[in-house]
Structure 1
């Protein structure tokens, strides 16, 4: 009887160690993949133009971590509102951004209407000689959802502008949802009230 109990304990211990090291290895592999992805303000547009499939694969890796997807989204927004890109590049970046929208977000924001709205806002920034020069992400805030609903996370972002008037910062909120493939997608976004930031 003691031998059977000892054998069961040993098998259980081996199984536990296997699953622990298996999950740790997966986590390390994901972190290694994510650390290899080098997307910056200067490289994002050339990468999309040169090899869309490669950067799309990088995006899928980033989508496994909501923090990294939020960072990427803010970087892309900064490039869009930099005041230095062409209308053609705006359309290219918007189409790429739509790659990580949820299906509902795509349905609520048809491509042409989404582009026209973005183009109008970017032109207003250009005409006023305003651009985004930096950003800070605050979050995540986890949203309590019912057991059968998809997981949601909220990130808030402060975009710093090149002006010092009352409109010196823009505050945006982003809601990310995890899909059935465990990838995070942008479910919603919009301007929010300002909030205090502790550095």
Structure 2
């Protein structure tokens, strides 16, 4: 937006009108700013230029995928077969990532949620690490038995869930890094 602190009055030399002469239309006058002033930057301007809402949307999508995998685990196996199913890792991580992604998306409208989003993403990293440990223990306990194809399917699903947890932890780590860099600049 252009703005300037200049005198806006139009200065011109005027001749007195002579009798019997028609008045000519005045020449068009245009205003042009003489210097540009920078626009004011809102709160979290540098952070919002990095598009944390995009990463928040990815968090929501991976959270929905985790909940879907949790439903698949619940339908296909008994609760005591794996630690992932017993502790409901997919539901817990998926729900937490959906909430964290929504809070990251709301930063654009409400910058006061910066600390809430930072805390949520730190919690997401911790939960993802705990979930990855539980899934790794399940993978280490894997033994092939009478239903090999069924167990291989469950093994593949747990590996897929582990990859999704790694993606979620990476997204949260990037957001935490951005939020941490922004936090000291905004404190008094």
Structure 2 length normalisation: TM-score?
0.23
Larger Rg: 2
Structure that is richer in helix per residue: 2
Structure 1 length normalisation: TM-score?
0.22
